[in-house]
Structure 1
Amino acid sequence: MFSRLTQILIVVILGLCVALWFQFQSISNLKAKNTTQAQIISQQSESIKSLKQQEEINRQLTLEISRLESESRSKSDEAINSISHDEKSADAYNASAPRSIVEFLRQ
């Protein structure tokens, strides 16, 4: 029928075709994984951008809160320092509250 050499060549060619088919499947699977990973990386990049924006907003809010606390503290210090020595040494039970404290509490 076929010569021995022809049979060997047919087997080798079929073997190479099978190997080529497996390589093609492997490459297709790797491309699919690569596409999936690219999508994940893109989503994570968007998440990172969003988190960085939130971080900046939080930083600005923290600075604003610190500034407001500092202003409030300095106003209370001014009110405390505006109390006269006589008012500080007066008997608190019989005395009315100092005007500066009343004004501070009304704020």
Structure 2
Amino acid sequence: MAAKTNPKYGLFGKLKAKPGKCDELIAILMESAGTDIRMPGCLQYLIGKDPDNEDIILISEVWESKEDHANSLKLESVRAAIAKAMPLLDGMPEKGIVWEVVGGLGLAS
């Protein structure tokens, strides 16, 4: 019999920074990550760079639930970070990929 899992809410995101603004945008996201990690329901918030495109930022998030993620977007600190980051983006963010996280290294199941 398979082990019972408690799926988590996962998101993969991709942002394109304006030319020369990638590091500044990453700094804003990293500052926000310090806040998000301590938020209820946030299990993982990873920020990375696309090695093939210096303007692309990749984000991986894992939350206890979709509701926890939605609630995070209502927080003043997150809203302020979004407002600060928007002028650095080259267009609107792409629609992210939602996934059901069932476990793995680094996450309690």
Q: How high is the TM-score relative to the length of structure 1?
A: 0.22
User: 1 or 2 for the larger relative contact order (CA 8 Å, sep ≥6)?
Assistant: 2
More helix by share: 1
Q: Which has the larger radius of gyration?
A: 1
More strand by share: 2
